[in-house]
Amino acid sequence: MAKTKNMKKEMSRLANLTKGFFKENPVFVFLLGLCPALAVTGTVEASLGMGLLVIFVLTGSNVVVSLIRKWIPHQIRVPSYIVIISTFVTIVGLLTEAYAYALHGELGIFIPLIVVNCLILGRAESYASKNKVHDAAIDGFGMGLGFLGALVVIGFFREFLSTGAIAYGVFLPLAETPGSIINIDSYVFSMDAFGQAPGGFLVIGLLLGIFNFVAILKRNKKERERQRMIEEKKRQALERKRQKAQEKAGAKA
């Protein structure tokens, strides 16, 4: 009995961690954090950098909000969350400037602007302030991973379409000398517009379309499955009814 309970708990934690990946993806499902998703996803590395910073801030702020949730008076909860989030953002800004200077230069004003990323305040208000510390931490980390994943996917398409390459070691200390994991020397993949704001809109729009299309397919499949199960139950019930009627008739005879 206790083993089953523990397993259920583990399963629920795993679901909590992974819900942000697809089902409740902040960018593609809730359309949260679109400002950085448009502004800094010109390259995979910048997207990765922004995603990592958001994971740090989101997990940190969720943990602190959850820790002190019972002490914060209701009427000042939002200003308190903002102070906590902005503290983490300031710290992450200083750390980036110290340990990933190129990334700091690339992201620029968008690091301080993490403060106004509605994903972070949203998770603090809707989840961390109502749940235990470890659950809040898992939620923050999972949602952050989902955000990072979305940014990296957008960044991949944008960088590839605008340069024909996926570079590494330019903004993040991933290698001693910058290089590229893909490099197709073709004019087809030199569509500068994808590296700029219009390209951001286009790629996000297309990915949102794909995401929604897949979600609709899944929903339809689920619906069909549900209908099938209902039909099956109906059939079984009918079968039982028929059997009972036959038994009744046999008994009478």
User: Could you list the residues that contact another protein (CB under 8 A)?
Assistant: 39, 68, 71-73, 75-76, 79-80, 83-84, 86-87, 90-91, 94-95, 97-99, 101, 105, 108-109
73/250 with CB nearer another protein: 73
Report, in Å, the least distance between residue 104 CB and another protein.
8
Question: How far lies 236's CA from each of 89, 233, 251, in Å?
Answer: 59, 5, 22
Residue closer to another protein, measured from CB, 83 or 217: 83
Taking a C-beta distance cutoff of 8 angstroms, is the pair 164, 189 a contact?
yes
Alpha-carbon distances of 98 from 61, 92, 104, 178, 198, rounded to whole Å: 21, 10, 9, 19, 32
Q: How far is the CB of 201 from another protein (least distance, A)?
A: 15
Q: Which of 17, 15, 26, 12 is nearest to 204 (CA)?
A: 26
- In the complex, least distance from residue 116 CB atom to another protein, rounded to whole angstroms: 16
Count Cβ atoms below 10 Å from residue 213 Cβ, excluding itself: 10
Q: Among residues 142 and 195, whose Cβ is nearest to another protein?
A: 195
Q: Cβ neighbours of residue 166 under 8 Å, at least 6 residues apart?
A: 44, 156, 159, 160, 180, 181, 182, 183
Count the Cβ atoms, other than its own, within 10 Å of residue 152: 17
User: Residue 62 CB, nearest distance to another protein (Å)?
Assistant: 15
**Cβ–Cβ under 8 Å, residues 193 and 199:** yes
Q: Of 17 and 57, which CB lies nearer to another protein in the complex structure?
A: 57
Nearer to another protein, 11 or 76 (CB): 76
Residue 153 CB, shortest distance to another protein, in Å, is 23
The pair of structure tokens assigned to 148 is: 């990072």
